[in-house]
Amino acid sequence: MKKTYLEFEKLIESIETKIDILKAAQDDHPSIDINTELKQLENKADKSLHDIYDNLSAWQVSQVARHPQRPYTLDYIEHIFTDFEELHGDRAYADDPAIVGGIATFEGRSVMVIGHQKGRDVKERQYRNFGMPRPEGYRKALRLYRLAEKFKLPIITLIDTPGAYPGIGAEERGQSEAIARNLYVMAELKTPILGVVIGEGGSGGALALGVVDHLMMLQHAIYSVISPEGCASILWKKQEKAAIAADKLGITAERLKDFGLTDSIVPEPLGGAHRDIPKVMKTVKIAIKRELDKLSQQPIDILLDVRYQKLMSYGQVTESGS
């Protein structure tokens, strides 16, 4: 697949294009030795990646989180889990392809895995509604939560959505109630819940899968009450100020970790998860196993108490004297 470069990666694109040209020339003329030139360019590309990715702004991080070649939920399911059996429908209205879920095997144990799915090409994106679930998607997730609780299966959620779908039909069918119901039910589910923000964590659309015992975020993922563009449109009436909004919102994994809103950060390969998918899959798998082992060792009553205390700690403020 041809690499897609972001706006701030133009220098890297230029260098890697030259590398590809040299490699093609070497294939056509094996007798020509261009290893020295290739090595120099590869070192330059590596240095450029470090210079850029060691100093990403919040807005640039959001662009990496939305990269079209970034791995999605079904990619993680394929690489990390086995024996995945997808379950469909909310048993009330319809099946929503924007949320996929089912029973799978992880490191020898049965688990329930549920996540948002955006879609890779135009046809699939339309089918998946660009990863924006409707109420039936959240009610499907709720059904799977209850099923996992019934059979004492740990739940793993993979969060990656711009937000819940705001269409008229979705609102008519109770979008807000469906999200609120999931928050309520997840808070008291008698089974361990582990969440991973793999890309975008957008507003209530993400929260409906985000009330968990341990929340992990990939290094270049984002989690926010509103998109930077949406925030800029409300505050300044200009989407062009999205970069300022992104910084003020504190949407990056590092900022959220400082705020205590996420529990751990999973490092990504240099240049983002899309640049080395096997490596990021291995890293995420190790992180999930580590945290799932910890959660599974805790008695349910203690797990629920810790989950409740964690939820109640959000939004605390300290008033200073006048």
184-224 pLDDT per residue, tens: 999 999 999 999 999 999 989 999 999 999 999 999 999 99
Say how many domains are in the chain.
2
- pTM score, two decimals? 0.92
User: Is 91 domain-assigned?
Assistant: yes
3-state secondary structure of 153: coil
Q: Are residues 247 and 112 in the same domain?
A: yes
User: Is 5 domain-assigned?
Assistant: no
Q: Are residues 21 and 113 in the same domain?
A: no
Structure tokens at 98: 């924007």
User: Is 317 domain-assigned?
Assistant: no
Across the chain, what does the average pLDDT equal? 93
Nearest residue to 99 (alpha-carbon basis) of 62, 145, 68? 145
User: Is 318 domain-assigned?
Assistant: no
User: Is 28 domain-assigned?
Assistant: yes
Please compute the mean of the pLDDT values over residues 157-168 and round it to a whole number. 96
Q: Are residues 50 and 66 in the same domain?
A: no
User: Is 245 domain-assigned?
Assistant: yes
User: Is 3 domain-assigned?
Assistant: no
Q: Are residues 51 and 67 in the same domain?
A: no
Please compute the mean of the pLDDT values over residues 33-49 and round it to a whole number. 88
Q: Are residues 17 and 102 in the same domain?
A: no
Q: Which helix (H) or strand (E) holds 275?
A: none
Q: Which helix (H) or strand (E) holds 303?
A: helix 300-313
- What pLDDT is stored for residue 239 in this prediction? 84
Q: Are residues 307 and 165 in the same domain?
A: yes
26 is in which domain, residue-wise? Answer: 10-55
Structure confidence by residue, pLDDT tens digits, 91-144: 999 999 999 999 999 999 999 999 999 999 999 999 999 999 999 999 999 999
- What pLDDT is stored for residue 317 in this prediction? 63
Nearest residue to 103 (alpha-carbon basis) of 138, 140, 154, 139? 154
Q: Are residues 223 and 109 in the same domain?
A: yes
pLDDT at 318 over 80: no
Q: Are residues 296 and 209 in the same domain?
A: yes
- What pLDDT is stored for residue 46 in this prediction? 93
* Count of CB atoms situated within 10 Å of the CB of 121: 9
Q: Kindly state the percentage of the chain with pLDDT values over 90.
A: 85
Structure confidence by residue, pLDDT tens digits, 234-257: 999 988 899 999 999 999 999 999
The domain boundary, picked from 18, 37, 55, lies at 55
Q: Are residues 139 and 32 in the same domain?
A: no
Nearest residue to 144 (alpha-carbon basis) of 97, 99, 78, 83? 99
- What pLDDT is stored for residue 31 in this prediction? 67
pLDDT at 181 over 80: yes
Of 14-23, 126-135, 276-285, give the lowest mean pLDDT range.
14-23
Distances in whole angstroms, Cα of residue 25 to Cα of each of 2, 12, 57, 201: 18, 20, 37, 43
Contact between 61 and 252 (Cβ < 8 Å): yes
Please compute the mean of the pLDDT values over residues 294-316 and round it to a whole number. 91
Q: Are residues 67 and 51 in the same domain?
A: no
How far is it, in rounded angstroms, from Cα 28 to Cα 31? 9
Structure tokens at 191: 């089974």
- What pLDDT is stored for residue 37 in this prediction? 86
Q: Are residues 234 and 262 in the same domain?
A: yes
Q: Are residues 124 and 35 in the same domain?
A: no
